[in-house]
């Protein structure tokens, strides 16, 4: 790490800590709760952890936390899926333009903003209140390199200047039910992503928890991208990484992950994450039913898909 880079990152971290220091003094429990649209947004503190919860407004039930912030280490990516998303760096290790659909508490956008001084991180979220909560409770600060628009993520991408080519597109938008919005899993959407990616750019998709539809989503991605890698995580999420760059052998992926790991001194093992990447042919439970799987299109939502 060069002195300039080290100083910049140290100063950035000091600013973040200044923004969230007041939360250390708050008691455990619900710090914020408010209805927004069909959801109830809540912020809950458990010791040094801050959780952003998005619950159904009527039942107040949710299966997942949208974001988790470690007040003692705010740049730490706690969710395994968030760590797995950094595998995109294997193909684009110095991204200049990054687009993120689904802001939540902003942990992934903040990571890229902190570690990549030359990158512009554009984000979208459909809920203004979620973004306000991220600013107040999760220490998010926007500037000319970290931006958010309150807009449908697919619509924003379609309207993005066609001259702008993203090195990485991250799709991290889902419901508490475990489903992604259907308009973000169709062939037409992935074709749009392809047109907005740079040469050898990378699409990263958090497939969430409803495993019965994940294989079909990956099959749909494969109709658009030459290479699709899957990282199945014990926590229930699966991450799909898609690119039209040449295929990489497992040893190449490992070595690139090792370089990124060492250069950024990550607080977790990207190398171990890289070893979990599989191609469809390596997933026996998907291969046996592959031909029967549908390809998702805008024309029709499949029966049983829980878009809400």
Please give the chain's pLDDT, 308 residues, in tens.
Answer: 556 777 778 888 888 999 999 999 999 999 999 988 777 889 999 999 999 988 766 655 555 678 999 999 999 999 999 999 999 999 999 999 999 999 999 999 999 999 999 999 999 999 999 999 999 999 999 999 999 999 999 999 999 988 889 999 999 987 655 568 889 999 999 999 999 999 999 999 998 665 678 889 999 999 999 999 999 887 667 899 999 999 999 999 999 999 999 999 898 999 999 999 999 899 888 888 899 999 999 998 888 776 44
Q: For the whole model, what pTM was predicted?
A: 0.93
DSSP letter, residue 300: B
What is the structure's pLDDT at 93?
Answer: 96
Residues with Cβ within 8 Å of residue 120, at least 6 apart in sequence: 96, 97, 98, 144, 145, 147
Q: Where are the domains of the chain?
A: 75-292
Q: Are 261 and 269 in contact (CB under 8 A)?
A: yes
CATH architecture of structural domain 75-292:
3-Layer(aba) Sandwich (3.40)
42: tokens are 């809540």
Distance of CA 292 to the CA centre of its chain: 29
Q: Are 283 and 230 in contact (CB under 8 A)?
A: yes
5: tokens are 């880079």
What is the structure's pLDDT at 145?
Answer: 97
> 2 in helix, strand or coil?
coil
> 222 in helix, strand or coil?
helix
What is the structure's pLDDT at 307?
Answer: 47
The percent of the chain in helix, strand and coil, each rounded to the nearest 5, is 35, 25, 40
DSSP letter, residue 295: -
Residue 101: which H helix or E strand, with range?
strand 97-101
In angstroms, the CA 280 to CA 218 distance is 9
How would DSSP label each residue in 148-183? EEES-HHHHHHHS-TT--EEEEEE----TTSPPPGG
How would DSSP label each residue in 10-49? HHHHHHHHHHHGGGGGSPSEEEEEEEETTEEEEEEEETTE
What is the structure's pLDDT at 5?
Answer: 78
What is the structure's pLDDT at 225?
Answer: 98
């Amino acid at each position: 790490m060069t002195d300039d880079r080290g100083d910049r990152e140290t100063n950035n971290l000091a600013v973040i800590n200044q923004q969230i220091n007041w939360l250390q003094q708050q008691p455990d429990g619900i710090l914020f709760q408010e209805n927004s649209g069909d959801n109830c947004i809540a912020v809950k503190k458990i010791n040094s952890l801050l959780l952003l919860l998005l619950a159904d407004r009527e039942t107040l039930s949710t299966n997942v936390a949208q974001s988790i912030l470690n007040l003692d280490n705010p740049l730490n990516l706690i969710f395994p899926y968030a760590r797995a998303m950094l595998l995109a760096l294997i193909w684009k290790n110095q991204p200049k333009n990054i687009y993120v659909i689904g802001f939540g508490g902003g942990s992934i956008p903040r990571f890229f903003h902190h570690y990549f001084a030359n990158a512009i991180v554009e984000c979208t979220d459909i809920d203004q209140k979620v973004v306000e909560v991220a600013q107040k409770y999760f220490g998010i600060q926007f500037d000319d390199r970290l931006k958010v628009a309150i807009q449908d993520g697919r619509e924003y991408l379609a309207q993005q200047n066609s001259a702008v080519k993203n090195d990485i597109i991250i799709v991290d938008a889902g419901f508490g039910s475990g489903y992604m919005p259907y308009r973000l899993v169709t062939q037409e959407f992935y074709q749009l992503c392809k047109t907005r990616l740079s040469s050898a750019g990378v699409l990263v998709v958090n497939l969430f928890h409803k495993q019965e539809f994940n294989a079909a989503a990956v099959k749909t991605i494969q109709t658009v991208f030459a290479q699709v890698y899957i990282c199945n995580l014990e926590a229930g999420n699966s991450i799909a990484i898609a690119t039209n760059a040449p295929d990489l052998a497992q040893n190449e992926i490992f070595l690139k992950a090792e370089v990124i790991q060492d250069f950024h001194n990550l607080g977790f093992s990207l190398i171990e994450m890289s070893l979990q990447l599989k191609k469809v042919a390596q997933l026996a439970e998907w291969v046996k039913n592959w031909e029967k799987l549908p390809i998702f299109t805008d024309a029709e939502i499949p029966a049983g898909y829980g878009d809400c």
